[in-house]
């Protein structure tokens, strides 16, 4: 695994994906190319001992321009910084870091479960896998409180149409009439949809409570603890 190194980049573009979700493209300056594995993150310093982690939403195929995506609703120092980013601004961070990565040599069937903005590493992993010629089955259960918080929903639907081996399930706690996805809590949906854990590896990302509940459901079905990989955003 690569060692995290200090980096400098320039904000190239800022897009507001939803009222509280902001995506930024960063043009690498130092180093000019940033090598990382899909699923890894960078840490942004805010003083001596304060850092915030942001996961790389883009794929390693684009080492000169990387994309980060944040839910700025928490409103703390990281959210304020992210929301205020403007094209041309210089940013410093350290990276890459993190072991929430899937190696295509892993023969197991992979199930991804994401809670809201926790989908960012999974977006990078799935895009890199399928656009890199991965033909094997994988599934994503993407859960949010409401449909407006399903970040990258359109992209995952498109990925599912282009790559039939990829199954996309979108689920929310509550939705307006006419909602065509699943309804309920994430762990209950995993419980209902996952029948066979034989040869499975699960990647769960989002809040700690969701990770614990989803892990408990999968372990009750017979999956061993080590086969549930997780990334705790909050
Ligand atoms: C490995 C890792 C990768 C991460 N990647 C991303 C990423 O790609 N995008 C992203 O938006 N955030 C990501 N985070 C979370 C991010 O580092 C910050 O915690 C987040 O931006 C909030 O920081 P803040 O300073 O605004 O709020 P803080 O003052 O630090 O947090 C306020 C409170 O909100 C909670 N919280 C943080 N995020 C959320 C959330 N999304 N929903 C609900 N509660 C939350 C915190 O636990 C805390 O209790 C990641 C965290 C980790 C550990």
Beta carbon of 71 within 6 Å of any ligand 1 atom:
yes
Assess whether 133 and 228 both reside in one domain. Answer: yes
Residue with CA closest to ligand 1 atom 53: 233
Low-confidence residues of the chain: pLDDT under 50? none
Report pLDDT for 1: 72
d(CA 122, CA 136): 16
Question: Strand pairing partners for 54?
Answer: 42
Report which of 64, 2, 65 is spatially closest to residue 32, judged by C-alpha positions: 64
Residues in the chain, how many?
234
Assess whether 127 and 47 both reside in one domain. Answer: no
d(CA 170, CA 143): 6
Per the prediction, the chain carries an average pLDDT of: 97
Q: Which residue, chain included where needed, has tokens 């999968």?
A: 218
Closest ligand 1 atom to the C-alpha of 232?
53
Q: Which of 46, 63, 97 is the last residue of a domain?
A: 97
Domain that residue 198 falls in:
109-232
Residue with CA closest to ligand 1 atom 11: 70
Assess whether 64 and 88 both reside in one domain. Answer: yes
Assess whether 138 and 88 both reside in one domain. Answer: no
Residue with CA closest to ligand 1 atom 15: 233
Report pLDDT for 2: 81
Number of domains within the chain: 2
Considering the entire predicted model, what is its pTM?
A: 0.98
Beta carbon of 46 within 6 Å of any ligand 1 atom:
no
Assess whether 81 and 126 both reside in one domain. Answer: no
For position 167, which CATH number holds? Answer: 3.40.50.80
């Amino acid at each position: 695994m690569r060692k995290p190194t200090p980096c400098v980049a320039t904000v190239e573009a800022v897009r507001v994906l939803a009222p509280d979700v902001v995506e930024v493209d960063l043009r690498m300056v130092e180093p000019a190319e940033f090598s990382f594995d899909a699923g890894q993150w960078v840490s942004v310093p805010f003083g001596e001992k304060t850092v915030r982690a942001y996961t790389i939403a883009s794929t390693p195929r684009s080492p000169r321009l990387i994309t980060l995506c944040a839910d700025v609703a928490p409103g703390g120092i990281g959210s304020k910084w992210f929301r205020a980013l403007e094209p041309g601004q210089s940013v410093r961070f350290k990276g890459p870091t993190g072991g929430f990565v899937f190696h295509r040599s892993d023969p197991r069937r992979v199930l991804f479960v994401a809670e809201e903005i926790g989908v960012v590493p999974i977006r990078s992993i799935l895009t890199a896998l399928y656009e890199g010629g991965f033909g094997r089955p994988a599934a994503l259960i993407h859960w949010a409180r409401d449909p407006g918080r399903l970040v990258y929903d359109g992209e995952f639907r498109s990925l599912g149409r282009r790559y039939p081996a990829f199954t996309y399930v979108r689920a929310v706690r509550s939705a307006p009439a006419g909602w065509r996805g699943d309804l309920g809590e994430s762990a209950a949906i995993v419980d209902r949809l996952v029948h066979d854990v034989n040869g499975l590896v699960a990647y769960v990302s989002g809040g700690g409570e969701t990770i614990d509940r989803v892990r408990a459901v999968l372990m009750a079905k017979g999956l061993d603890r080590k086969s549930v990989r997780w990334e705790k955003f909050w």
